[in-house]
Amino acid sequence: MQTDVLTPAKAAFRLTGLLNQLSTVHGDVRFPVDVESLAKNCHEIFKWHDPITSVVAADIPGFDGCLSYLGKGNGWALIYNEAVSSRGRVRFTQAHELGHYILHRATQTEFNCTDQDMDDWQADERRIEIEADSFAANLLMPLDDFRQQISTRVDFEQLGDCAARYGVSLTAAALRWVSATDKKVVLIASNDGFMRWSYSSESARKSGAFFRARKHIVELPAASLAADESVVRESEGATVPASVWFADASSGTKLREMKIASGQYGVLTLLELPGTEAVWAPWVNR
Ligand SMILES: [Zn+2]
């Protein structure tokens, strides 16, 4: 019955086109995306007969969101955790569950998703979780619009403005940028001196600039701003020797280290490496 092969990007692109149109024709506010209303109406867009009939907050300890089939004629319930106070996190969760509805509901009748499924886009190796995140990011933060908000020299100020524009967390906005940029950048989330996770742009990865923070315990370098508790915010970044973070970097190379620390998400660090220098020795130790 399902003839459309919808990829996360394709599905989000289709909805984005429609939202752009509504905004142009009717003057609807374009951002942040009203995910709740979209979830309840999107079966009409795709001409499906099993709608999302309710979007509700509920007590679901241990999970950020669920999508549940209620039986023939009753459609689906999209549930999000009532204890989550961050509107940005709730919006991303709703969009993630909407992604499961659009992309995966033919294969499962129940989806239970943790915050780890959404906070760290590479943490969960299950394909459907990565796809739901990708759909959510594409829907909430369309790249063409995102790129217009960011100058050639990114900083946490601009990413914070994007987070506000799209109604998402700073982490989600930063991940979106890192996943799309051709610059050599690494985003690191840490607590108490240790990395929780890190995410490298494709060009940074290809240059060997990545950390295996999911598989190993990785301590923050002692000389980094990230590890310096007296630095709460270095939004535009400070220039530091690249060797502080990467032992294989040649001695003259510098990188830009940006930092923002808060009780909400711990420490977020963004490293921007020189784009032209081939300073990394990524594979020699493999
Ligand atoms: Zn999920």
Q: How far is the CA of 230 from the centre of ligand 1 (A)?
A: 37
Same domain, 100 and 39: yes
* Residues 122 and 205 both lie in one domain: no
Choose the weakest-confidence range: 30-44, 194-208, 271-285. 271-285
- Sign of the torsion formed by the C-alpha atoms of 190, 259, 174 and 95: positive
- Asked if residue 125 has pLDDT above 70, the reply is no
Question: Can you give the pLDDT at residue 124?
Answer: 52
Whole-prediction pTM value?
Answer: 0.91
pLDDT computed for residue 117 by the predictor: 56
Judgement on whether residues 202 and 133 belong to the same structural domain of the protein? no
Calculate how far, in angstroms, residue 234's C-alpha sits from the geometric centre of ligand 1. 33
Give the pLDDT confidence of 172-201 residue by residue, as tens digits: 999 999 999 999 999 999 999 999 999 999
- Asked if residue 208 is part of any domain, the answer here is yes
Q: How much of the chain exceeds pLDDT 90, in percent?
A: 79
What spacing in Å lies between the alpha carbon of 103 and ligand 1's midpoint? 11
The pLDDT value recorded for residue 1 is 46
Work out whether strand 76-81 and strand 52-58 pair parallel, antiparallel, or are unpaired: parallel
Q: Please report the pLDDT score of residue 121 as a whole number.
A: 56
**Number of domains composing the chain:** 2
- The rounded Å distance from CA 125 to ligand 1 centre is 11
Whether 219 is covered by a domain: the verdict is yes
Q: Is 137 exposed, middle or buried (0-12, 13-18, 19+ CB in 10 A)?
A: buried
User: Of the candidates 140, 171, 190, which is a domain's last residue?
Assistant: 140
Q: How far is the centre of ligand 1, averaged over its atoms, from the C-alpha of 284 (Å)?
A: 37
Ion ligand 1 — residues with CB < 5 Å: 113, 117, 129, 132
Q: Is residue 145 included in any domain, yes or no?
A: no
CA of residue 39 to ligand 1 center, whole Å: 15
Residues 100 and 49 in one domain: yes
Domain of residue 31 covers 8-140
**Residue 80 CB neighbours (<10 A):** 26
111 CA → ligand 1 middle, Å: 6
